Each structure stands twice: as C-alpha cells, then as structure tokens.
Amino acid sequence: MADPRNDRHRPENTRPQVFRLDEAGIVVTEAPAPTEEADEIVAPAPPARRRGFSLGAVFWTALGGLASLGIGLAVTRLIEDLFAQTQALGYLGVALAGLLAVSVLAIIGREVAGLMRFSSLDSIRERAVLALATDDRPLAEAVTHDLLGIAKEMPALARARGDLSSHLGAIIDGADLVRLTERTLMAPLDARARQLVSDTAKRVSVVTAVSPRAVVDLLFVLYSAFVLIRRLAELYGGRPGALGMLRLVRHVLSHLAVTGGMAAGDTLVQELVGSGIAARLSARLGEGVVNGLLTARLGLAAIAVTRPLPFTALPAPRVADVAAGLMKKAQEEEVRPQLGSRRAGKAEGE
C-alpha cells in the first residue's frame, strides 16, 4: 500500500498525519520566495478612475455660471436704482448685498467642509480595506490615527480612545490593528446606530398603521428616513450639509440597489411572509410592518455607507437585529381592539 505522504496528488481533505523528519521518503524544501506577481495578486491595484468632465458636470457648471451672472447683474441694477432714488437707500442696498455675499460664502464653505469630511471618511474606509487585505502595519496605523482624531470630537469615546492609544505599540500586524480599532471605537457607535434604526422602524410602523391617508404615510416615511440617515452620519463623524445629504442619500440608494433592496434571506422577512403572520394581521397593521421593515433596511444601508470601517471584527447588523420588535408590536396592536370589544361586551351583559 502506497504511503499517502508520498502521493503528490492526494486530495485536499486528507487528514493531517504525524511523521519524523528523518524518515525515508521525507523531503524538506524551503518555501519559495514571494514574487512580484504574487504581491500583485494579494494587493491588486485600485481601479483607474475616469478622467475628464462628464456632460452632466459641464451642464450644471454652465447653468450655475449663468445663474450666478444673472443674479449678480440683477443685484447691481437694483443697487444702482436705489442710489438713483436716495443715497441712504443705496448704502442700505450695498450693506444687504454684503451680508448676502458673506452668508453665501459661509454656506459654500460649510458645504465644501462637509463634502471633504465625507471624502475623508470614504478614504479611511478604503485604506482600512487595503490594510486588511495586505496586512500593512504603517497603513493600518495611519487609519487608526485618523479615527482617533475623529473620536476626539466624541465625548462618549473618551475611554475607548485612551484604551486604544495605550495598545497601539503592542500590535504588530496591520490587519489585527484595524480589527482592534474596530472593536474599540466602533462597538459603542454600532450599538447606538442599531438603537436609532430600531426606534425609527417602530415609529414608522406605528404611525403608518394608524394614519388615515396614504399621502401622510409617504411623507412621514420620507421624513423619518431622511432624519435617520442624517443622524447616522453625524453619529459616525460626518456633518452633512445640503449637498452632503444629497450625496449620502444617493450612496445609500446605490448600496440598496447593489445589495438587492429588501434581502429575501433575512430571517424576519421569512417569518413575515412564510409563516402566514401577515395574513393574520389587518391590512393597516400589515402595511405598517412592511414600512417598518423597509425603514430598517434603509437604516442598515445607511450604516454601511456612513461607517468609517468595514465590518470585519464585529458582525454586521441584520434586519432581524433592529426590527425584531415589529411583529410583536403589530400583534399587540391587533389583539388590543379585540380585548377592548370583549370587555365592552361583558360590561353590557352585566
């Protein structure tokens, strides 16, 4: 019978065996040195970005320029007309125009700062993914320092920031350092984010179940989703302005499109659809539960987009984690009117 250790074509699932190095037939060879091709496979180059201007960017730039010129010309003519009336009105118009210019510059500066902050968070996430893939210690340390700088503005992370700073020198591997950073800094924020999503989903479920009109349902769901995305962004260190919110909403919707929207494999969705619970609920309560589930799914997408680190050391939240109370609450709302009618019938009988 042939020795399986000498079989060069043994299957991968062969169980490990113990042997001596001085036995006959055992050949010890050195591991081949890593080549540049292997390094390129482990750390693939980032995809090349598109260069040049798109037609949409050219259109909006031209439209914005024309609108700015038109507004400037209109303000200039207005001030000239005010000076033609009286000198006092002219100076008042100049003062108001100056205040308008200062406020516009402040708004633009705030929007640019918000966009730059979002770009910084995206860059941290991309570098963290690269550090995990390549086990790059300097890159992982740079990611950790950037996150510590953001955490300085969060009083709730003061203790976690101190613990992480004291352990930086003890971690050798870059991937382990990223995981330690995630467990230390992201765990408190993730717990708060789950609570925000859960509370919003329950609120949407209750309001849409008792709301008399579909228009009110739609407006409330949109408002709740908008507020939820903003609060999650602020929780993870972003300060979105108007343009930042538009960009963030677009990223959240893109993430939903990529992940398939309402995931069919979620346990809670299977419980809702497969076990017939939805059939036992009234139409309004069933609609409320579905709206709550959709809000929860949107919140999870917002967490994935706004979180500055990928989910590696910590488990990613699921719909069942943030919307587990929707079914129980819906069943309670369904049973409550029945109990009230039974009590009323007993009172009449007495």
**What are the pLDDT digits (tens) for 200-231?**
888 888 887 777 777 777 888 888 888 998 89
The answer to whether residue 48 scores a pLDDT higher than 80 is no
Mean pLDDT, the chain, whole residue set: 74
Q: What's residue 11's pLDDT?
A: 45
The answer to whether residue 346 scores a pLDDT higher than 70 is no
Q: What's residue 43's pLDDT?
A: 38
Measured CA distances, 178 to 4, 35, 45, 124, 181 (Å)? 41, 26, 20, 11, 5
pLDDT tens-digit readout, 159-191: 888 888 887 878 888 888 899 988 999 989 999
The answer to whether residue 53 scores a pLDDT higher than 70 is no
Residues 160/185, Cβ–Cβ less than 8 Å: yes
- Residue range 52-66: mean pLDDT, rounded: 80
pLDDT tens-digit readout, 219-277: 888 888 889 988 998 888 887 777 778 888 887 877 777 665 444 445 455 545 444 44
Cα–Cα distance for residue pair 142/130, rounded to 1 Å: 12
The answer to whether residue 338 scores a pLDDT higher than 50 is no
Q: What's residue 340's pLDDT?
A: 47
Q: What's residue 152's pLDDT?
A: 87
Residue 314 burial (CB count, 10 A): 15
Cα–Cα distance for residue pair 23/218, rounded to 1 Å: 76
Backbone phi, psi, residue 213, to 5°: -125, 145
Higher pLDDT, 138 or 32: 138
> pLDDT band at 10, cuts 50/70/90?
very low
Provide the 3-class DSSP secondary structure of residue 329: helix
Q: What's residue 348's pLDDT?
A: 53
Residues 200/291, Cβ–Cβ less than 8 Å: no
> pLDDT band at 286, cuts 50/70/90?
low
The answer to whether residue 83 scores a pLDDT higher than 70 is yes
pTM above threshold 0.85: no
Higher pLDDT, 237 or 333: 237
